[in-house]
Chains A and B, each alone.
Chain A
Amino acid sequence: NAGVTQTPKFRILKIGQSMTLQCAQDMNHNYMYWYRQDPGMGLKLIYYSVGAGITDKGEVPNGYNVSRSTTEDFPLRLELAAPSQTSVYFCASRPNSGQGDPYEQYFGPGTRLTVT
């Protein structure tokens, strides 16, 4: 298994541009998450999904959108990028009941985004 993959690894955006951060997992996990990690800070939940077609807001959803059309993919959309969105973005997934430890979240390698 490739686990949780994210693309791109790095990206520089100009203020007002838009982009989509890609996240995919090949473990058939229903639960997926998007976090942002600002320098010297912990992770903050942006959006999460409990299965295809179901998404919900986390702690810091403003300025972002998500969709979950398949179990494997959970893209994060940034519209009208702002400097405050400069951060490292992590996608994560966790097993379903019966697949293993359902509490453990598996993280992707992250996307480092700079908005200037």
Chain B
Amino acid sequence: GENVEQHPSTLSVQEGDSAVIKCTYSDSASNYFPWYKQELGKRPQLIIDIRSNVGEKKDQRIAVTLNKTAKHFSLHITETQPEDSAVYFCAASKDFGNEKLTFGTGTRLTIIP
């Protein structure tokens, strides 16, 4: 089955700096890669996703890049703010209709004011 590895497990950055979280996946058939943000004690929420027909997607200060050849994808947060502090999870799955979303183990991001 699919295996998703996520690094780093913890990340601290100064407010205003950029943060990058990286994930690798094992199944070359995976083609959907979402990122979820989970604040302390809260439910996970989708912040951005990418499908295998594109290499990059941006939404304001958040961007995701995908390298299908190397089987890795990354989350980039620019101009970080205190409210970006949370745990971020990457995930991967195969074609739409395959319901088995495999999650990474998470990255705890702390923004230092």
- Give CA–CA (A33, B101) in the complex, Å: 10
- A110: B residues at CB distance < 8 A: 43
Contacts A58-B100, A102-B96, A103-B32 given; does A41 touch B105 at CB 8 Å: yes
A107 at the interface (CB under 8 A from B): yes
User: How many of chain A's residues touch chain B, expressed as a range?
Assistant: 20 to 34
Given contact pairs A40-B106, A110-B43, A103 touches B99 in the complex (Cβ within 8 A) = no
In the complex, chain B residues whose CB is within 8 Å of the CB of A59 = 1, 100, 102
In the assembled complex, the CB of A9 is this many whole angstroms from the nearest CB of chain B, namely 11
Assess whether A82 is interfacial by the CB under 8 Å rule: no
Q: Report chain B residues within 8 Å CB of A77.
A: none
Residues of B in contact (CB 8 Å), total: 22
| Residue B44 at the chain A interface, CB threshold 8 Å | yes
B44 near A90: Cβ-Cβ < 8 Å: yes
Q: Chain B contacts of A56 at CB under 8 A?
A: 99
Nearest CB in chain B to that of A58: its residue: B100
A33 touches which of B89, B99, B104, B106 (Cβ 8 Å): B99
A107:B43 contact, CB within 8 angstroms: yes
Residue A109 lies at the interface, judged by CB distance under 8 Å to chain B: yes
In the complex, per-residue mask of B72-105: 1 if CB is within 8 Å of any chain A CB, else 0:
0000000000000000010100001001111111
A–B pairs, 25, beta carbons within 8 Å: A31-B99, A33-B99, A33-B101, A40-B105, A40-B106, A41-B105, A41-B106, A42-B4, A42-B104, A43-B89, A45-B100, A45-B101, A45-B102, A48-B99, A48-B100, A50-B99, A56-B99, A58-B99, A59-B102, A104-B34, A104-B46, A105-B101, A107-B44, A109-B42, A110-B43
Binding site for A on B (CB under 8 A): 1, 4, 6, 32, 34, 42-46, 49, 89, 91, 96, 99-106
